Structure 1
C-alpha cells in the first residue's frame, strides 16, 4: 500500500527547503498507475475495507443520469443524536450543520464506490506533469504544465489547490443551470444561468502560443432569468499566474449598453446573482489567485463526503423537492467514506478577505474540493461549502451536480449547478473559437 505518512514527512522536509516548488521526483512519479492511480490517489483499499480499491472507475455509458446504485440503502444515517460516534470522520462544519438543524438535517452514509474515471490522455498528461510541472512566483503560477493535474503527487498545500483548479472538466462545455439563494424560511427564486467554458487546447484550431500563453480557461456567463437580472454578461480570461497577469474580466451592462473592464471580479467581491451569499472565489468551492493566503498541507484523512449524487441529479425532481428551509433535502443526498487531502488556508498578515481561514477537504480520486469550512475574522465558523458530485459517464468527467454554501449565522444558503429542470444541463460537445470570448462577443450576447 502507498505510504501516506512517508509522503507527508517528505512534504514537511520539502516545505522547509528551497525545493518547495520543484517537480516530483522520478521515483515518486513511477508510482502513478501502480501504487497510485494515474492522477495520484492511493489505489489500495483502506485497512478496514470500508474504502475499496480503485479499479478504473465507473464504466462509460451513454445514459448519463441513470443511477447505477439505485437499489442501495444507507448503511446508517448520522444525526445530531449520534454525531459524536462519527465525529472523527466529519468536519467541524458538518458537525455544526447537524447541531444547528438537529430536527431536519442528517447525513445518510452509503457504501463507497470509487467511480472517478478520466480519459487516457488526461492520465498521460498527469504522468508528464509529475516530473515537469512547477509552481512559480511564490506558488501563484504554473509552468511546464499541460492539460490537467500538474501535481499528482503533491508536496504542499498550494499544489493540492492547483490540482483542484486545473482538474479535468471536459475540455470545453456549455451548461445551463440554476443558482438559487434560499432564504431562512425556505423561500427562493431560481436564477437561470448559461455558461460557456473552454480550455485553450479545446478551442477550434487548438491553442495559440501567443494568445494563450498564460490562459487557464475562457469563460462567459449570462443570466437568463429572472427578468430583472437578464441582459448582463460576464467574460473572464482566467490566467494561470494572476500576479504577473491578473484575471482579465469584462462585463456588459444591459442598462448602459456598454462593455467595461471588471478588475473587481476576484477574491471576496460578491458573486454574480448570489444575493450576497458567496464571494467570487467561492464559485467551484475555490477559484482564482491563491496569493492572499498561506496554504498548509495538513495531511490525508477519511471523511464522509457527498459522492455519487445520482439521486440528487434525478431529472424527475423539481427544485422545490430539493430545496428546504436551512438545507437541501437529506432524503436526496448521498455521502460516502473517501480519503481526502486536508489543506488549511490562513489569511496572510496585511491581506484582506472576509474569510480569515478556510479548511479544504479535497477528494483524492478527482481533485474536486468536496467540503470547505469557512471562518470569519473572529475565528467563528461561518459558512460550510459542499460539492455534490457524480461521474458524467458519457464523457468520463467527475464533476458537480450541485454545489451548496450554507450560512451558519443567518440560516440562509446558496445552491448552484442544479440542472434538474434544465434538460441535460451540461453539454460537453461544444467547441468554441477565440472570437467567442471577446468583449465584442459579449456585447452581441447582451443585445
Structure 2
C-alpha cells in the first residue's frame, strides 16, 4: 500500500527534461549549454514548480549571509531562517491531502505512530550556492567524466560534481554518495542514541575525523591516490571504550578496495578488517545500522543493480538547523518512537529517486534500497531499506544544513528507524556537546589515519 502511494506521482523525466529510461547515453552539447542558464551549474532546474510551492533557485548566498552572526567553525549551526513558522503540519488526520508528496518511509512512520508522528512543513528555500570552482569542475566533468571497471571506478576531475546529467543509476549513485561537493575535513565528538520501542535509550559516543583532500580548494585534478580517510574512536558504550576503526577510500573500488584497520582494546592489537563496509554492523550503533548505511549509502555499490526511477516533488528534511540547537536537550528531543517532531523542519523540494536491487549471486541484509537525492546539492536526504522478502524494514533521513565555513552542505544528525522493532537511532548528535561540527581547519593530515595512527591512539 505504501509503495503504491509513494510512487504514484513519480515523474519519469531527466533533469534536462528528456525521457529517462536508465540506459547509458552521452551528455549532449545542448544539455551542457544549459548549465548556468536555465539550470544551475550542477544541473538542477532553476525554475520553481507550477504551483509556486517550490521557489525559483536564487543562489544568493555563498558562505554566511550578512544577517547571521557566524563566529567560525565548531560552533552549533545558526539558522538563517530563525523565526519562521510552519505553513502547516501534516498529521494522521490530514495525511490523505499530502500523501502524493510523501515517501514510502514517511507513510510507514505515520502508520506506525499515528498519534505522535507529524511533519511541520516550512517555506521552501533555495538560497545557497556552490563556489565558482565547483561550477568550473562540474562543467569539465559534464564533458568527460566516466565510470570504469563495470561501474566500480570513476575517472573525473576532483573538486566538483561528477555527473550533472546522470544517465544511469550508477552515475547518480557515484554523484550523490561519493562525488558531490562536501567539506574536505571534519572533526567532531558525537552522541549516538539508540532509542528502543519502550522509549529507553542506549548511549553511544564517537570521536570522529574524516579527510577528503581531493575536495580541498586548489587540489582539483585527476582521480588518483586515496580519495578519503576516516577514523572513529569509541568513547561509549563503556564496554567498547578505546576501540579504533580507521581506513582509506579510493576512486576505484575494484582495483583498490576500501582499506580498514581495527584496534581492539582487549587484545591491544591492530588488525586489518577485510571488506569493512556493506552490511557489517557500524561501530557504536548497537547493530541498528550497517556500515554502508551511514549518510544513506556509502562505499561500493557492486552488490546491487541501480536504476533511476525518476524525479519527484516530496517533503524532505531541509535547512535543518534547529534540530542541532544546543538549547534542546536529548531528553526533549529523543521521544518514544521518533524524535520530537517540533524540532524537525521539512520543505518541499524536487528529488531524484534512485533504487538498487540485489544482484543474483550476491548477499546483503537489504534486498532492495531506495534513496532520495536533492537536485540542488545532489546529496542523499532519505533512504528506505527492504528485507529479502521485499518488506520495508528501515527508513532513514539525514538532516543537512549549509555550513558557512565550508560553503557547502554538511550532514547533521541522521535518523534511522527500524519499522519492525519500533526503535530508532539518532546518529551524530551534537546538542549536548560543547562544540559541533569542526570543518576545513587543515589540522588533520593523512598521517592521522591508518594502522599506525590506530596503534598510537590505542596506547
Matched with 1:401 is 412
What are the residue-to-residue correspondences of 1:182-193 with 2, within 5 Å?
182-193=195-206
Structure 1: how far apart are the matches of 2:197 and 2:243?
Answer: 28
**Contact 2:77–2:324 at 8 Å: present in 1 too?**
yes
Structure 2: how far apart are the matches of 1:6 and 1:311?
Answer: 31
Structure 2: how far apart are the matches of 1:259 and 1:342?
Answer: 40
Over the aligned positions, Cα root-mean-square deviation in angstroms equals: 2.2
Matched with 1:217 is 228
How far residue 76 of structure 1 moved from its aligned partner, in angstroms, is 1.2
How far residue 198 of structure 1 moved from its aligned partner, in angstroms, is 1.3
What are the residue-to-residue correspondences of 1:155-170 with 2, within 5 Å?
155-164=167-176, 165-170=178-183
**Please, which moves more after superposition, 64-73 or 123-132?**
64-73
Structure 1: how far apart are the matches of 2:218 and 2:145?
Answer: 25
Taking a change above 3 Å as real, the CA distance of residues 295 and 8 of structure 1, as seen in their structure-2 partners, is farther
Structure 2: how far apart are the matches of 1:445 and 1:340?
Answer: 41
Taking a change above 3 Å as real, the CA distance of residues 433 and 346 of structure 1, as seen in their structure-2 partners, is same
Scaled by the length of structure 1, what TM-score is found?
A: 0.92
SS of the aligned residue for 1:304 comes to: strand
The structure 2 residue matched to 1:311, chosen from 317, 322, 333, is 322
**Please, which moves more after superposition, 425-434 or 367-376?**
425-434
Structure 2: how far apart are the matches of 1:207 and 1:257?
Answer: 39
The structure 1 residue matched to 2:190, chosen from 160, 177, 198, is 177
What are the residue-to-residue correspondences of 1:65-144 with 2, within 5 Å?
65-144=77-156
Taking a change above 3 Å as real, the CA distance of residues 6 and 68 of structure 1, as seen in their structure-2 partners, is closer
Taking a change above 3 Å as real, the CA distance of residues 228 and 58 of structure 1, as seen in their structure-2 partners, is farther
Structure 2: how far apart are the matches of 1:225 and 1:115?
Answer: 38
The structure 2 residue matched to 1:243, chosen from 248, 254, 258, is 254
Taking a change above 3 Å as real, the CA distance of residues 237 and 6 of structure 1, as seen in their structure-2 partners, is closer
The structure 1 residue matched to 2:447, chosen from 396, 413, 435, is 435
Matched with 1:380 is 391
Taking a change above 3 Å as real, the CA distance of residues 57 and 333 of structure 1, as seen in their structure-2 partners, is farther
Scaled by the length of structure 2, what TM-score is found?
A: 0.90
Unpaired segments ≥5 residues, structure 2: 1-11, 65-69
After superposition, what is the alpha-carbon deviation per residue over 1:338-381, rounded to whole angstroms, capped at 9, x for unaligned? 00001111111111011111111111111111111111111111
Structure 2: how far apart are the matches of 1:350 and 1:409?
Answer: 27
What are the residue-to-residue correspondences of 1:189-208 with 2, within 5 Å?
189-201=202-214
**Contact 2:15–2:44 at 8 Å: present in 1 too?**
no
Taking a change above 3 Å as real, the CA distance of residues 430 and 418 of structure 1, as seen in their structure-2 partners, is farther
SS of the aligned residue for 2:202 comes to: coil
Unpaired segments ≥5 residues, structure 1: none
How far residue 272 of structure 1 moved from its aligned partner, in angstroms, is 1.0
Matched with 1:445 is 457
Aligned residues: 437
Taking a change above 3 Å as real, the CA distance of residues 446 and 117 of structure 1, as seen in their structure-2 partners, is farther
